Structure 1
Amino acid sequence: MRRMNSGFTLIELMIVVAIIWRSRHLRLSSSSK
């Protein structure tokens, strides 16, 4: 698998985005309750 110039693979980038998206969603759901 090729690595991009930033050193991040596409999969690694997707994992980071998924983690941020999850934490955001949890914050929104917890604050609304």
Structure 2
Amino acid sequence: MFIDDVITMGIGALASISLFIAVVGFIVWKDMHKR
């Protein structure tokens, strides 16, 4: 049970970080192409 919770939390954290990086990268990429 405990290990399942840790894995679920880990996947959730990884997804959140990946989404954050994707959004930031997209904004930076758009900003670079604006100039």
TM-score, L = length of structure 1: 0.76
Counterpart of 1:2 in structure 2 is 5
Detail structure 1 runs of 4+ shifted over 3 Å in the superposition: none
What's the TM-score once normalised by structure 2's chain length? 0.72
More helix by share: 2
Structure label with greater radius of gyration? 2
C-alpha RMSD over aligned residues: 1.5
After superposition, where does 1:9-24 map in structure 2 within 5 Å? Answer: 9-24=9-24
5+ residue gaps, structure 1:
none
